[in-house]
Chain A
């Protein structure tokens, strides 16, 4: 047993690419499982199709946070602070309850954030809660901002509150709040950030019994999360994660559908010969010449862009390909070999001969082609997405790439938007291709010398 294992590892050691590519593929499988567990299908779809309400706490076109590692002047992070028992103090009065919530944060970036918002979720019966907001700066100034009643779901857009910019009308409100007052005096100069600890203080007065107000304060920076965001504020992580199982399954199904069916049909055709073989040959010759992609495009445009319909069409058009001719030549040799003769002599049925004796004999040829075939379909899905025929519902790598391309990511410098899906596609494609090429050498020793 140990001898067998050591010889197996001995063989593997000869092919470091097998180990490397297997590690990548296992990683992708793990990522897929994580994606499916962490974000259930329905949630992934609704997040990806999400309107502005879902992605209200994220900025548009934000680069991933880790890009800051490569910058000398760090770009401001995006963060949200929530009211909780730690940052809020509640005092119950005679006919009202007063809560003071303090959101304290340190801001020491060189650049200003893009936007700031305060959101309220209030519960009340008759009287609206009353809110007063103040802004405390590191140099001890106190700026009073919004005061007034709020609805059950209320948004105070700080960045649109022009009452804050009366002394610096050319600047945006949130810039004025974070700027060094000295740098604002000269209207021609660029405002500079006053680094230090800021506090947003919210005083809430509620009047009904059991009335509560939850608040949250969001600063929209230039970077967000692990993957960044796109033009619709969506966290790209959703699509990058969910794109993994979709890409793997699409590639796997399409390859299983085409290569295995091709293989079996070639075996059956060769075994029976005659008109069946001739028919398979003729169908293959015609099918080879069909403009595969334009037909796929036609189906996508006229019927449905669903990834599963595409899969079916790809399989149907992908069965009778050039591979069938190659397999046929090999099966012809197998058909005439002595052990098949022996099987015939003992009266084995046609199906038994095909599936027990002919097909297993050539499986070593099939395995590498099967693995090499996967990337082609993974990229085909992305290709379809790039020409605008991606699945309308599912988040896929191809869709991200297509959005990025349509959104001019390359012109406008949002490189992360293109590179993230591209790197994942490349990793998947290379891993399977490398594994396939290496397996080809293991299974077909004829190539080993070459």
Chain B
């Protein structure tokens, strides 16, 4: 016997999952259209066909003694046939759905100039190799901002009106500048002038041999990007949450709890944090959406070898499949992080379990 609450939870999660999948499909479909207005996706396909045909002809001993011009004609015929088979000579709308499927599965063929560290030229491998590198840095950065933000905000709302509290209001506008901008200043101070931290990159050269050495080297390279991230995102996060907590701490039930003589820690946890948590999680989802994209430029400035820097390099080399692939993988990244937060939301918001969604 499954409890009705669990059933509701499962239904909610499944609904959100489907909704997000549809969203990803729409996003990727739009990207396919944008990319193909200049024929870029078609070109990827064409070059794949040409390469495949060329390979099959070179490998086949039947064609070895043939005159080059005849061989070329046969190759052209074969390419023509495959182009027709894929419908490349027909209107785009029919193909667009095939492309959507290809893009969603990241089967974007091979890159022209770029390759992964393992030497693969497969776009999927290139992208997936960079994914964990980005996740390590920006996962840490976002979790750090989130938890630090909540704790500092709680701390300040407890000391409303103190010097620190007023300072937090005063510095909130500094969040107007993005992380990479602070990154430049940090590099200038800590790398150029003081020379104590590296300019960028992920590991020292030569790469340390031991696992511990590598981890320490990576930590050292993460300090400046993390600092830049905190400088840009923490102030505004603290400010909005502090205001939010203050509004909630003036609710009647909090006053009642105070009157009952509950300890302030208990009040904070049960009567302030608990009811505001779903909203905070939703806000965090929005922040994450912007954060993943902010990673692109931050990685570029710090030469952090993740997806963002890959995209930057792909722009420089005009590597179409990698650029389209990046859009797809960022779409996935956004959807998956929102989905995870949706699950957390469902776990902490009693309304989901009670099935009160419809009563808005």
Tell me whether B174 and A389 are in contact (CB under 8 A). no
Chain A residues numbered 424-449 whose CB sits less than 8 Å from any CB in chain B: 425-426, 429-430, 432-434, 436-437, 447
Known A411-B192, A415-B192; judge A298-B31 contact (CB<8 A).
yes
Of B27, B173, B181, B327, which one neighbours A286 at CB under 8 angstroms?
B27
Does A379 touch B at the CB level, under 8 Å? yes
In whole angstroms, what is the CA distance A303 to B172 when docked? 37
Q: Specify which chain B residues have a CB less than 8 angstroms from the CB of A405 in the assembled complex.
A: 184, 301
Does A387 touch B at the CB level, under 8 Å? yes
Chain B residues numbered 214-271 whose CB sits less than 8 Å from any CB in chain A: 243, 246-247
Q: Specify which chain B residues have a CB less than 8 angstroms from the CB of A415 in the assembled complex.
A: 188, 192
Chain A residues numbered 245-285 whose CB sits less than 8 Å from any CB in chain B: 285
Does B24 touch A at the CB level, under 8 Å? yes
Tell me whether A375 and B293 are in contact (CB under 8 A). no
Does B334 touch A at the CB level, under 8 Å? yes
Chain B residues numbered 318-333 whose CB sits less than 8 Å from any CB in chain A: 318, 320, 323-324, 326-327, 330-331, 333
Chain A residues numbered 387-433 whose CB sits less than 8 Å from any CB in chain B: 387-389, 401, 405, 410-411, 413, 415, 418-419, 422, 425-426, 429-430, 432-433
CB B280 to nearest CB in A, in angstroms, measures 15
Tell me whether A410 and B188 are in contact (CB under 8 A). yes
In whole angstroms, what is the CA distance A423 to B209 when docked? 42
Contact mask for chain A residues 281-299; partner B; CB cutoff 8 A; 1 contact, 0 none: 0000110111111110111
Q: Specify which chain B residues have a CB less than 8 angstroms from the CB of A297 in the assembled complex.
A: 296, 311, 315, 323, 326
Known A289-B334, A291-B330; judge A302-B40 contact (CB<8 A).
yes
CB A231 to nearest CB in B, in angstroms, measures 17
A313 nearest CB neighbor, chain B only: B34
Does B300 touch A at the CB level, under 8 Å? yes
Q: Specify which chain A residues have a CB less than 8 angstroms from the CB of B34 in the assembled complex.
A: 295, 298-299, 302
**A contact face: mostly helix, strand, loop, or mixed:** helix
A404 nearest CB neighbor, chain B only: B184
**B contact face: mostly helix, strand, loop, or mixed:** helix
Q: How many residues of B contact A (CB 8 A)?
A: 59
Contact mask for chain B residues 75-99; partner A; CB cutoff 8 A; 1 contact, 0 none: 0000000000000000000000000
In whole angstroms, what is the CA distance A288 to B320 when docked? 25
Does A386 touch B at the CB level, under 8 Å? yes
Does A128 touch B at the CB level, under 8 Å? no
Q: Specify which chain A residues have a CB less than 8 angstroms from the CB of B35 in the assembled complex.
A: 298, 302
Q: Specify which chain B residues have a CB less than 8 angstroms from the CB of A211 in the assembled complex.
A: none
Tell me whether A418 and B23 are in contact (CB under 8 A). no
Tell me whether B27 and A291 are in contact (CB under 8 A). yes
A380 nearest CB neighbor, chain B only: B178
Interfacial residues, chain A to chain B (CB-CB below 8 A): 285-286, 288-295, 297-303, 322, 372, 375-376, 379, 382-383, 386-389, 401, 405, 410-411, 413, 415, 418-419, 422, 425-426, 429-430, 432-434, 436-437, 447, 450
30 contacts between A and B (CB under 8 A): A289-B24, A289-B289, A290-B30, A291-B27, A291-B293, A291-B334, A293-B330, A294-B311, A295-B34, A297-B326, A298-B35, A372-B176, A375-B176, A379-B177, A383-B178, A383-B180, A383-B297, A386-B300, A387-B300, A387-B312, A387-B315, A405-B301, A410-B184, A410-B191, A410-B199, A415-B188, A430-B173, A432-B176, A433-B174, A450-B160
Interfacial residues, chain B to chain A (CB-CB below 8 A): 19-20, 23-24, 26-27, 30-31, 34-35, 37-38, 40, 160, 169, 172-178, 180-181, 184-185, 187-188, 191-192, 199, 243, 246-247, 286, 289, 292-294, 296-297, 300-301, 311-312, 315-316, 318, 320, 323-324, 326-327, 330-331, 333-335, 338
Beyond A289-B338, A379-B178, A434-B173, 14 additional contacts (C-beta under 8 Å) are A290-B27, A298-B323, A301-B315, A302-B38, A375-B177, A387-B296, A387-B312, A388-B312, A405-B301, A411-B199, A425-B177, A436-B173, A437-B172, A437-B173
